[in-house]
């Protein structure tokens, strides 16, 4: 993933905008995309700062807790259950998720995933 532009560059761009230059002129002078200048200005108006937001990080798994126990129980009950059937069962329980996400969950959980993917 690319690094965000420096705050120095962002501040110089915003200062030029405040002096009356257009986004296109600022972008050309600083050799950045016009869309970047526009987004920095919008971020400054919306948040009070053009500082970059948080990048990357860990997103928690959707299938955890009671859903985890449910999926593993269903697989134990019926070894021939498909990813689509598990997805539909989770949707009935209030968790809308893609079958690929269920497959990744099962892959993290053990070796049963290969049998399920062949049945999907």
The torsion defined by the Cα of 86, 87, 92 and 93, in degrees rounded to 10, comes to: 80
pLDDT for res 54 = 83
79 exposure class (CB count in 10 Å sphere: 0-12, 13-18, 19+): exposed
- Residue 85 counted as domain residue: yes
The pLDDT-based confidence of 117 (bands split at 50, 70, 90) is low
| Domain extent at residue 81 | 66-119
- Tens digits of residue pLDDT in 78-109: 988 999 999 999 999 999 999 999 999 998 88
pLDDT at 111 over 60: no
Residue 11 and residue 42 in one domain: yes
Given a cut of 60, is residue 68 above it in pLDDT?
A: yes
Q: How many domains does the chain divide into?
A: 2
Residue 56 placed within a domain: no
Q: Is the pLDDT of residue 112 over 80?
A: no
- Asked whether the whole model's pTM tops 0.85, one would answer no
Q: What is the DSSP letter of 72?
A: H
**Is 59 domain-assigned?**
no
Residue 93 lies in a domain: yes
Domain-embedded: residue 76: yes
Length of the chain: 120
> Which letter does DSSP use for residue 71 in this model?
H
């Amino acid at each position: 993933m690319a690094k965000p532009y420096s705050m120095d560059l962002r501040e110089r761009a915003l200062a030029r905008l405040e002096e009356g230059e257009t986004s296109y002129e600022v972008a050309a002078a600083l050799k950045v995309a016009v869309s970047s200048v526009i987004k920095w200005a919008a971020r400054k108006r919306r948040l009070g700062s053009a500082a970059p937001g948080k990048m990357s990080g860990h997103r928690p798994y959707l299938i955890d807790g009671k859903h985890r126990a449910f999926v593993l129980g269903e697989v134990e009950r019926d070894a021939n259950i498909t990813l689509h059937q598990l997805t539909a069962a989770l949707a009935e329980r209030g968790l809308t998720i893609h079958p690929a996400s269920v497959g990744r969950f099962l892959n993290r959980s053990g070796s049963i995933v290969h049998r399920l993917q062949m049945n999907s």
